[in-house]
A and B are shown apart, each in its own frame.
Chain A
């Protein structure tokens, strides 16, 4: 069974829960409602032999409802097929943890929580993985500035705003020497 046939099998099995499917250059994507995403993923592993969760990531569609979306990339070592499962997360709802289906999801879900602030219900140990416990922001959300925000947790960690000055690398074409022409952060007077 190839990936396209598996998508059809999923549509038959889950009916309404499969909201839509897309194919792009042979990549199969299934959009699923959040309520049935876990059952569908379990079916993918048990019946369709997707034994490897390649990646789990999250998207921030700021300004849309629902705002967040979780993406699962699946792969089967037996049949070498890829499948992408996407599910939007309505406001105030948590995504279901898939740690009990693929143990490898554990750290992916922690990262999604750390960076995007999406909670996974049923996760055995949902702590931050990159930033420290007590860091108040979710840095990959769209409203978070690239330069960061100041924070301070005594004895644990602190962050400051990075000097951006119109972007990380600003060239000054026509300046008199190479040091000034070189692309680099140009700090304004008050940043110094």
Chain B
């Protein structure tokens, strides 16, 4: 069996038995992307769509991200779903800070992405002014399909990460220097 060019693993059951060859980065990414544990930061109507996405009709778990964790210490992707008021902003930041690395953030809907229709004294104009955002999902609110698409985009993004390679490169430069 010849592995397709885009896969990161080569596996021949006849020759290698239980041995899989891969890159460490690819293996770590594969594991990370298929067990995203979201922290549902439900702040407004987007949260209703997020709940719908997690329920049986749309079923996030088909793609391996159904384990909604209400403790930031157990989560690795924060879904900011809804309007972030200035009063809530620092709480969102604090929860984000409590999440262990590696962590990702999804700005779900117009409000979380840019303040949406709330051009006002009370609303933070986009959560990206406070925490780094990986995926923006448009919509007001986005349908569950859009959230699924956003999460799958995030999976694609995670697939392309090369944390260990970078670490190795830094180590080599440090040793040379």
Contact = CB atoms under 8 A, between A and B. Distances in A.
Interface band, chain A: 20 to 34
Nearest to B121: A148
Contacts of A130: 87, 122
A132 B87 CA distance: 7
A157 B121 contact: no
Interface stretch (B13-21, B23-31, B46-54, B112-120): B112-120
A139 B125 contact: no
A149 B121 contact: yes
B63 interface: no
Q: Which secondary structure dominates where chain A touches chain B?
A: loop
A163 B89 CA distance: 18
A163 B87 contact: no
Contacts of B86: 157-159
Contacts of A176: none
A52 to B, nearest CB: 29
B119 A139 contact: no
Nearest to A146: B120
Contacts, number: 49
Nearest to A140: B121
B119 to A, nearest CB: 4
B84 interface: no
B120 A147 contact: yes
A124 B118 CA distance: 33
A157 B125 contact: no
Given A158-B89, A159-B86, A162-B118, 20 more contacts: A131-B87, A132-B87, A137-B121, A139-B122, A145-B121, A146-B120, A147-B120, A147-B121, A149-B121, A157-B87, A157-B89, A157-B90, A158-B86, A159-B121, A160-B129, A162-B121, A163-B125, A168-B117, A168-B119, A185-B114
